[in-house]
Amino acid sequence: MTHPAQRSALILIDIQESFRQMPFWSDVDVPGFREAVLALDAGCRARAVPVVHIFHVGAAGPFTEASGHVHALDWLPGAPDASFHKHTHNAFSDTGLDLWLRRRDINHLIIAGIRTEQCCETTTRYGADIGYSVDYVTEATLTFPMTHAGSGRTYSPDEIKAHTELVLAGRFARIATAADALAALD
C-alpha cells in the first residue's frame, strides 16, 4: 500500500504515433502492453490520480512536430491532466514536469510507456535521483529487439525488460505489475 502521505501521478511516456513509423516497430507485444496501459489509465482516473502524457520531439524524422506523428497512439485515452513535450531521453530535463508535480505535492510516480530501456528507464532513474518514489510497471512498457554493435547478438524485448528490472529494482524503483501499482493506491 502507498504511504498515506504519498500523492501519485501516472506518467505515460512516448506512447506516440512516431514509433509506428520506425523500421523496428513490431505489433507483437502491443496487445499486452496496451492492456496494461489502459488498466493503469482507467484505474488512476477512477482514483483521481493525475494522468500525464509525455511526447518525444526530435530533430528529424517521425519525431519532429512537422511530421504530424507526435501525438498519442489512437487507442490511448485523451484528456490527460497535463501533457509535455520533451527533447531528451528523460521526461524532466526540459519539460516543466518536475515543477508541475511539485506544485501538486506529488511525490510518487507510476511509470509506463515506450521504450522500456530508454525513456522509461531514464525517467525512472532521474525521478528517483530528484526525490520521487517510483513504481516501474514493466508490463506497461514496450520495447523492440536490439542488436549489440560489438557482438552482433540480438536481445529480445523480454531480455531487455529483465535487464531493466535488474538495474532499477530496489535502487531506483519498485518493480510492479499494473495490478500492484493500482492496489498500492487504495
| Phi, psi values for residue 109, rounded to 5° | -115, 140
Average pLDDT of the residues in 154-179: 98
**Domains in the chain, please, with CATH?**
8-183 (3.40.50.850)
pLDDT of residue 1: 44
- In this predicted structure, the answer to whether residue 179 has a pLDDT above a threshold of 90 is yes
pTM of the model: 0.96
Residue spans of alpha helices (H) in 75-119: 97-103
pLDDT digits (tens, 9 = 90+) for 99-122: 999 999 999 999 999 999 999 999
Q: Comparing C-alpha atoms, which of 131, 137, 106, 127 is closest to residue 39?
A: 137
Query: What pLDDT, in 10s, does the model give residues 2-54?
Result: 455 689 999 999 999 999 999 999 999 999 999 999 999 999 999 999 999 99
Q: What is the pLDDT of residue 6?
A: 85
What pLDDT digit, counting tens, does each position of 73-101 carry?
999 999 999 999 999 999 999 999 999 99
Q: What is the pLDDT of residue 5?
A: 64
Q: What is the CA radius of gyration of the chain?
A: 16
Strands (E) in the chain, as ranges, are 8-13, 51-56, 82-86, 108-114, 133-142, 146-147, 154-155, 174-175
Distance CA 120, CA 164 (A): 10
